[in-house]
């Protein structure tokens, strides 16, 4: 008897409901411009620079984030392919990214 595409295990008496395997979310492709914006919403008034639009895999983004944190002398994080750097260092970040050959743009107000 051949196994068809519709026969998949959804419940087992031993373990209960079988969860769907999660597919990794693919980030949308950018337009080649790295955008740097300042955000304070949801951060208790503390400002961060949000850097988005870097077309690279997670390892490269992690290396860029580590270098930016080191050059800026502050902390930061990576969330869903977006780099967050603490403080308002947009001009410094822009010049550092342009040195790496990226087209950077200050976004927002």
- Could you tell me the sign of the dihedral formed by the alpha carbons of 62, 64, 67, 72, in that order? negative
Predicted TM-score of the model (pTM):
0.70
Strands 103-106 and 33-39: what pairing?
parallel
The CA distance from 95 to 61, in Å, is 17
Band the pLDDT of 57: cuts 50, 70, 90. Answer: confident
**Which pLDDT does position 6 carry in this prediction?**
66
DSSP conformation class of 47: -
The secondary structure of 84-105 as a DSSP string is EEESS-HHHHHHHHHHTT-EEE
pLDDT at 83: 92
Chain-centroid distance of CA 8 in Å reads: 33
Judged on CB neighbours under 10 Å (0-12, 13-18, 19+), 70 is exposed
Tens digits of per-residue pLDDT, 20-42? 766 666 666 667 889 999 988 87
In the chain, the domains with their CATH numbers are 25-106 (3.30.780.10)
């Amino acid at each position: 008897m051949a196994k068809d595409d519709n026969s998949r295990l959804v419940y087992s008496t031993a373990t209960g409901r079988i969860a769907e395997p999660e597919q990794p979310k693919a980030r949308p492709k950018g337009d080649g411009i790295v955008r740097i914006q300042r955000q304070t919403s949801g951060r208790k008034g503390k400002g961060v620079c949000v850097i988005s639009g870097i077309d690279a895999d997670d390892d490269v983004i992690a290396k860029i984030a580590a270098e930016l944190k080191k050059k800026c002398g502050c902390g930061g994080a990576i969330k869903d392919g977006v780099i967050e750097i603490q403080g308002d260092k947009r001009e410094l970040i822009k010049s550092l990214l342009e040195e790496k050959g990226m087209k950077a743009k200050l976004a927002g107000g």
